Amino acid sequence: MATYKENILYGPVSDYFLQQGFFVFSGAKKHQILGTSEFGVKLDGRNETIDVLAVEWTENGEIHSVAVECKLYNTAREGVGASLYQATDYQLFFDEVYVATQTGELRDKESVLKALGLGHLSVDLQSKKVVITFPAQFRNTDRFDLAHNVRQVVPRAVLPLVFRYVFPNLTLRYMDASRGGLWVATDVVSNVQYNAGGHYDYRRTHFAINIEFIEDLRQIVRKVDKDKLRSCLHALDDRHMVELSIDEMRTDRRLSTPVRSYANRVDLEHLLNEIEKGTQLPTGGRRKSKPHFIVSTLLYRWDESLARDDYIARTGEAIGRFTPLMEVFKACF
């Protein structure tokens, strides 16, 4: 039973769902979505990564999730047989689960898939066309666990859908989706970005202005209007934090004294001095430094029961509070 590179299937399957308006997490390149991290969940102490996960809003404002386990063996039947363990695990978390194989006869495995509530996607390896052989059962009654869905899927998968709504004209990237976290970001000017994200271990999501490139920090130190920057930071309330750290990329060894302060109480001169010192550190070779400057606020806790409009409204409110500060940074470029 020879196996082949199943990632050959990732692109066609991802494109199939993208064309229907889904946001897609997978290892494939996805045109206007920057990010090739698979979406991961934690089950019985182990991390499972889903080959392709597609998510979209439903008409009633809930998140509809479709997970796909891709298998490429000598035959479609063999691929289905090898997929069942992972695919049935995914039914605990996601609304629908499919198995994707190359085009071919499933024979006895068709009845097995249908009995388990799993759907099948047939991928023509030449044309890359994807066809639903038969649909998956919605929220399999034997295995779907709403608690798993609400705890591990919804609070993370909602982020790119919200960002796509509030930033319709900006390119979106996502990262760190495979090990219980998820961050989404969009660059506003140079590499200065709005981002949002969180991790399963902390169960909360923050929204931030994020700057991670030394060249951008140098530009800001040189050109920022200090009075306007101070005014914008001090106008933010105690929900907002300023943090600066500069680490060595290979080792994560701290190369500067971290700065962490409420935005409305930050010592701006000290902050800018620390940023300037950080921009003088090496930017190449084995000792390459990695800056991380953020102004952040809590967006939501993962135990909150929020509707689509709540997520969008909270994100819009955060953008509104951060807009004057972003304008100060934009003026530096």
The mean-pLDDT minimum among 17-21, 148-152, 272-276, 307-311 falls in: 272-276
As given in the structure block, the two tokens for residue 230 are: 């101070």
Average pLDDT in the 311-333 region?
A: 98
* pLDDT above 90 for 258: no
- Digit-coded pLDDT (tens) for 105-130: 999 999 999 999 999 999 999 999 99
48: phi then psi, degrees, rounded to nearest 5: -115, 130
* pLDDT above 90 for 284: no
Residue from 187, 185, 205, 203 nearest 195 by CA:
185
Torsion-angle region of residue 185: left (phi > 0), alpha (psi -120 to 50) or beta?
Answer: beta
Confidence of residue 191 (pLDDT cuts 50, 70, 90): very high
Confidence of residue 247 (pLDDT cuts 50, 70, 90): confident
* pLDDT for the residue 277: 81
* pLDDT above 60 for 84: yes
* pLDDT above 80 for 321: yes
* pLDDT above 60 for 65: yes
* pLDDT for the residue 241: 98
How far apart (Å, rounded) are the C-alpha atoms in residues 87 and 127?
Answer: 26
- Which one is predicted more confidently, 255 or 292? 292
Residue from 67, 54, 65 nearest 21 by CA:
54
* pLDDT above 60 for 225: yes
* pLDDT for the residue 281: 61
* pLDDT for the residue 251: 58
* CA-to-CA separations, 67 to 48, 91, 162, 222, 242, in angstroms, rounded: 12, 8, 20, 48, 37
Confidence of residue 182 (pLDDT cuts 50, 70, 90): very high
> In percent, how much of the chain has pLDDT > 90?
83
Average pLDDT in the 257-285 region?
A: 83
* pLDDT for the residue 283: 56
How far apart (Å, rounded) are the C-alpha atoms in residues 171 and 176?
Answer: 17
Residue from 166, 117, 168 nearest 143 by CA:
117
* pLDDT for the residue 285: 52
* pLDDT above 70 for 254: no
Residue from 260, 268, 202, 194 nearest 230 by CA:
268
The secondary structure of 275-293 as a DSSP string is HHHHHTS--SSTT-EEEEE
Residue from 173, 185, 170, 211 nearest 333 by CA:
211
CA end-to-end distance (rounded Å), the chain = 58
* pLDDT for the residue 101: 98
The answer to whether the beta carbons of residues 87 and 61 sit under 8 Å apart is no
The answer to whether the beta carbons of residues 300 and 313 sit under 8 Å apart is no
* pLDDT above 80 for 279: no
* pLDDT above 70 for 289: no
* pLDDT for the residue 31: 76
Confidence of residue 323 (pLDDT cuts 50, 70, 90): very high
How far apart (Å, rounded) are the C-alpha atoms in residues 290 and 282?
Answer: 9
Averaged pLDDT of the chain: 92
* pLDDT above 90 for 3: no
Q: What are the chain's domains? A: 6-147 (3.40.1350.10), 190-330 (no CATH)
- Digit-coded pLDDT (tens) for 193-212: 999 999 999 999 999 999 99
Length of the chain: 333
Confidence of residue 304 (pLDDT cuts 50, 70, 90): very high
How far apart (Å, rounded) are the C-alpha atoms in residues 125 and 238?
Answer: 55
How far apart (Å, rounded) are the C-alpha atoms in residues 257 and 270?
Answer: 11
